[in-house]
Structure formats: structure tokens, C-alpha cells
């Protein structure tokens, strides 16, 4: 199956679009996911347009607020870690879109790490590596503690747990991006209470609509305070 290109939609919604090499990598990633699904369960999202929106577009949508608020940041050589990466989202699309960043994919499941090693090799993602382990343990490791400019978490756990996972990985000036679905004022109050105890700060809660299915999504941007 062939992924839709939708270059105009990329540009209109995220002010970015893949070049030819990046689009080819997206297509290759899609094929690898479809093949990997035959060996073990990676994702239920396999139709081309749904994959484009819910895996590729959604992964990169988390960077949209940074692009607007701190555009200079995205041009730097940043260190990024994707906690609980699963099949590689959002980490692999981010690595494809920003080849000058160093991306680490963390997951606690060996078979997923093995699959991601195949993906990295076949896509020739020289800026990407994997790490097997649990976020709450790896974050205490001196090599990873306070080591990352951006920490991403997508569909990992409830938001309080995500915050507790993310903060130890962040550099003093780093930003955690939490990908969420629905969000409420009560959720914000609970999060602020948690951050008050753990020394974090909400920078922004961004709400947006996905371009094909018109679903509501949120991204939370959090610093160490």
C-alpha cells in the first residue's frame, strides 16, 4: 500500500513538508510496520491515510508549538528521547524530519527494541539509537539523567505518571512534550498540583484538530520550572 503524500496539507497545518528522501523514508517505515505486524502486534492503524494522520502527522504535530514559539530551537543540534516509543512513534518520524537531532528510542519490551533496530538499519537513520529499559529506572542513570533537550511521551500512561517519567530526563532548559487526546480544566488543575510537588512548570497546553478525521488532540509542554 502507498502512503498519501499530502504535501500541501503538511505545509498548511505544520508549516513543514517532507522532501523526496523523507517521503521515501516515511513510505519505507510504513512498509516495515505492515511487515512487522505480521510477526507481532505493533499497531492497529494500518490503512494509508489513517497511518499518515495518526502516526506520521500526529508525531510531528507535537513540534508545531515549538516551531512557532521558539523557531531558533529547531535549527540546533538537539538531543531527544522518546519514552515508551512502542513501534517508534513519535521518535522515528521526528528523526526522519530532523536529521540534525540525536534521537533515542526507549522501550521496556525487547521485541519492540529488536524491531526498531531493524527500522533504524533499513532506513539508515544514523541519528537514532535504541535503549531497552523502563523510564522510571533509566531516568536515574547518570548517562540519561538531565541529558535531553526534548522528552516525548505519546500514549504511555496518565499524565501525572508521564510527568514523573519525563522530568528526570530533562536538561535544565529542556522541554517535555506530552501527547494527549481529550483534555479538561480539571486535568489542568491536577497537573499543576503534581508539578508543584515535582518542580515542573506548564509552558503551554496546545489544542488542535487533526486534518483528516477532525479529531481533537492536545499537546502539553512542560519544563523543569
Q: How far apart are CA 125 and CA 119, in angstroms?
A: 8
Nearest to 166 by CA among 217, 127, 117, 220: 220
Q: Which residues are annotated as a binding site?
A: 84, 89, 107-109, 135-136, 154
Q: Which residues are annotated as a binding site for S-adenosyl-L-methionine?
A: 84, 89, 107-109, 135-136, 154
CB half-sphere exposure, 139, CA atoms < 13 A = 18
Q: How far apart are CA 195 and CA 104, in angstroms?
A: 25
For the sheet with 148-154, list strands across it: 128-132, 102-107, 79-83, 148-154, 170-180, 216-223, 201-209
| Nearby residues of 122 by Cβ (< 8 Å), 6 or more positions away | 28, 32
Burial of residue 172 (number of CB atoms within 10 Å: 0-12, 13-18, 19+): exposed
Please name the residue ranges forming H helices in 38-90: 48-51, 58-61, 64-69
* Neighbour count for residue 55 (Cβ, 10 Å): 24
Q: How far apart are CA 107 and CA 147, in angstroms?
A: 17
Amino acid at each position: 500500500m502507498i502512503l498519501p503524500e499530502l504535501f500541501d496539507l503538511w505545509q498548511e497545518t505544520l508549516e513543514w513538508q517532507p522532501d523526496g528522501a523523507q517521503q521515501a523514508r516515511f513510505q519505507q517505515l510504513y512498509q516495515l510496520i505492515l511487515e512487522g505486524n505480521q510477526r507481532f502486534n505493533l499497531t492497529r492503524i494500518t490503512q494509508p491515510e489513517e497511518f499518515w494522520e495518526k502516526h506520521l502527522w500526529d508525531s510531528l504535530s507535537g513540534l508545531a508549538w515549538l516551531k512557532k514559539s521558539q523557531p531558533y530551537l529547531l535549527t540546533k543540534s538537539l538531543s531527544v528521547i522518546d519514552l515508551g516509543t512502542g513501534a517508534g512513534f513519535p521518535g522515528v518520524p521526528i528523526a526522519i524530519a530532523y536529521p540534525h537531532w540525536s534521537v533515542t528510542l526507549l522501550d521496556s519490551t525487547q521485541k519492540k527494541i529488536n524491531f526498531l533496530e531493524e527500522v533504524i538499519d533499513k532506513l539508515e537513520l544514523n541519528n537514532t539509537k535504541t535503549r531497552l529499559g523502563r523510564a522510571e529506572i533509566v531516568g536515574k542513570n547518570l548517562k540519561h539523567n538531565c541529558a535531553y533537550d526534548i522528552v516525548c511521551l505519546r500514549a504511555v500512561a496518565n499524565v501525572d505518571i508521564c510527568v514523573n517519567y519525563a522530568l528526570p530526563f530533562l536538561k535544565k532548559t529542556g522541554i517535555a512534550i506530552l501527547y494527549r487526546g481529550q483534555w479538561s480544566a480539571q486535568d489542568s488543575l491536577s497537573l499543576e498540583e503534581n508539578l508543584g510537588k515535582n518542580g515542573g512548570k506548564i509552558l503551554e497546553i496546545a489544542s488542535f484538530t487533526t486534518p483528516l478525521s477532525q479529531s481533537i488532540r492536545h499537546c502539553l509542554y512542560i519544563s523543569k520550572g
